[in-house]
């Protein structure tokens, strides 16, 4: 197993002590620094105290469920979130318009799979600088991407995106004429052979479309039936 080069804090929020112990052990072996919370309210307090680099969040918990925890975390920042779900039919809610989680794992799961997904998300966030600086830009129509600052804008107004959403949009904008299959998007984001479903990509695309539609962009991403996605003209039409 490849160890994380720098200690990164991962907050595990789950009411099952066995799951917390299992994940904490696996994350610690991977060179990460796990901290734990047994319910949603405690998870929010721990997030405030430890400022984790990533949160692993169970959906079904007493006192405050994971969906509400995610909503509150999103109001304070863009900390990456990986959801633990007991039912596959919850995934559209998890990755959907309101929440915008970065990834998910359905129970029962392999601790190695969770660690792999955590490391993939952290590799993407590690590329972000500590502050926004002038640097490389991508522009297409009314869309602008600040690659060094990890900032997306429509007509100069920032559109808040998760790490995964920005990564997908950056990929599409890098070759606006190219149609990317779902598998190609997964390979570019996570590396070849990474186990993730097409539904995950579709959910992130829906999320991107909704966020930009709110800003006036109705033509951000085009769907090519049976093939995949490409960047739209980004004219606002």
**CATH 3.40.50.2300 is right for the domain spanning 9-126:** yes
Q: Residue 2 burial (CB < 10 Å; 0-12/13-18/19+)?
A: exposed
∠ CA(179), CA(185), CA(191), 5° rounding? Answer: 140
Give me the pLDDT at residue 129, please: 44
Angle formed by the axes of helices 40-50 and 66-76, nearest 10°? 30
Q: Kindly list the domain boundaries of the chain, sorted by start residue.
A: 9-126, 137-231
> Spelled out in words, what is the top-level CATH class assigned to the domain 137-231?
mainly alpha
Which residues make beta-bridge pairs with 154? 143, 157
Give me the pLDDT at residue 12, please: 95
Instruction: Tell me how far apart the alpha carbons of residues 136 and 193 are, in angstroms, rounded to a whole number.
Output: 30
Give me the pLDDT at residue 52, please: 92
Instruction: Tell me how far apart the alpha carbons of residues 202 and 208 are, in angstroms, rounded to a whole number.
Output: 10
Reading the chain (237 residues) residue by residue, the pLDDT tens digits are 444 445 789 999 999 999 999 999 999 998 899 999 999 999 999 998 888 999 999 988 888 888 888 888 887 777 888 988 877 666 655 554 456 677 888 888 899 989 988 988 888 776 554 433 345 788 888 999 998 888 999 998 999 988 888 989 999 998 888 899 988 888 777 665 555 666 788 888 999 999 999 998 989 999 988 889 999 999 886
Per DSSP, the residues of the chain read -PPPSS--EEEEE-S-HHHHHHHHHHHHHTT-EEEEESSHHHHHHHHHHH--SEEEEESS-SSS-HHHHHHHHHHH----EEEEES-GGGHHHHSSTTT--SEEEESS--HHHHHHHHHHHHHHHHTS-SS--S--EEEETTEEEETTTTEEEETTEEE---HHHHHHHHHHHHSTTPPBPHHHHHHHHH-TT----HHHHHHHHHHHHHHHHHTT-S-SEEEETTTEEEE---S--
C-alpha distances in Å from residue 155, one per residue of 99, 163, 195, 208: 24, 21, 36, 16
């Amino acid at each position: 197993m490849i160890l994380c080069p720098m200690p990164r804090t991962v907050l595990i929020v789950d009411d099952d002590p066995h799951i917390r112990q299992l994940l904490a052990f696996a994350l610690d072996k991977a060179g990460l620094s796990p901290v734990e919370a047994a319910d949603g309210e405690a998870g929010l307090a721990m997030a405030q105290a430890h400022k984790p680099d990533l949160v692993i969040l169970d959906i079904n918990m007493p006192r405050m469920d994971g969906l509400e925890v995610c909503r509150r975390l999103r109001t304070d920042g863009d900390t990456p979130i990986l959801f633990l779900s007991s039912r596959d039919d919850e995934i559209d809610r998890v990755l959907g318009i309101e929440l915008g989680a970065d990834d998910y794992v359905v129970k029962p799961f392999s601790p190695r799979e969770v660690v792999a997904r955590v490391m993939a998300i952290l590799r993407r966030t590690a590329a972000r600088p500590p502050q926004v600086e002038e640097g490389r830009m991508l522009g297409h129509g009314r869309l602008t991407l600040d690659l060094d600052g990890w900032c997306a804008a429509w007509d100069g107004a920032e559109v808040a995106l998760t790490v995964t959403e920005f990564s997908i949009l950056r990929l599409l904008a890098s070759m606006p004429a190219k149609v990317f299959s779902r598998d190609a998007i997964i390979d570019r984001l996570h590396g070849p052979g990474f186990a993730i479903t097409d539904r995950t990509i579709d959910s992130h695309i829906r999320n991107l479309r909704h966020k930009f539609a709110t800003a006036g962009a109705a033509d951000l991403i085009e769907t090519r039936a049976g093939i995949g996605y490409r960047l739209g003209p980004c004219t606002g039409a």
